[in-house]
């Protein structure tokens, strides 16, 4: 059985937790640790959250799926088994990833590459883009407004209205 249609269902209807349960069952049957992670994150018990955190430590790259190519420094927050917030590169090479469907908030480190992925229809849940006007290695003060304008131009061309802001520091990255 192909899992692709089940993943498609989750990414195209990110608020449907039933689709995630069906996917989790299929993944468990296939021996994929993402199945257990999904079920643990759908649970509300502290014990499940603790086990989910341990699984995430061990399998973060695998759990990010195709977004692993875009997420920088493995900085991502998961909810109900999928990435909902991340620090990401948003260039052309990651623009069409269906896995953006669950992402609600993106932290973008300004770069020479325009964040064209933001124009993708794959971002079904995106509510906010935070611009970090520096690289992780070296700050670039005074460039926040310029890069915020770049993001707003990309969104405007795509007919999207989202909250865009600048931040001087990275957030803590925890599992929900």
67 within 8 A of 88, measured Cβ to Cβ: yes
Q: How far apart are CA 34 and CA 52, in angstroms?
A: 10
**Positions in the chain short of pLDDT 70:** 134-144, 173-176
Taking only the tens place, the pLDDT of each residue in 118-138 is 999 999 999 999 988 765 444
CA angle 24, 28, 31 (to 5 degrees): 140
Q: What is the pTM of this model?
A: 0.89
Domain boundaries, the chain: 4-166
């Amino acid at each position: 059985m192909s899992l692709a249609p089940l993943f498609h269902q989750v990414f195209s209807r990110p608020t449907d937790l039933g689709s995630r349960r069906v996917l989790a069952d299929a993944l468990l049957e296939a021996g994929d640790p993402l199945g257990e992670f999904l079920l643990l994150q759908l649970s509300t018990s502290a014990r499940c959250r603790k086990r989910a955190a341990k699984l995430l430590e061990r399998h973060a790259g695998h759990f990010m799926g195709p977004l692993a190519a875009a997420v920088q420094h493995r900085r991502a927050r998961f909810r109900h088994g999928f990435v909902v917030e991340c620090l990401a590169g948003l260039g052309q090479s990651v623009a069409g990833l269906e896995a953006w469907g669950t992402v609600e908030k993106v932290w973008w480190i300004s770069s020479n590459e325009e964040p064209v992925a933001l124009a993708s229809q794959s971002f079904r849940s995106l509510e906010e883009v935070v611009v970090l006007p520096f690289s992780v290695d070296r700050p670039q003060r005074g460039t926040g407004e310029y890069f915020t304008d770049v993001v707003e131009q990309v969104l405007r061309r795509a007919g999207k209205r989202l909250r865009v802001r600048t931040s001087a520091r990275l957030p803590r990255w925890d599992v929900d």
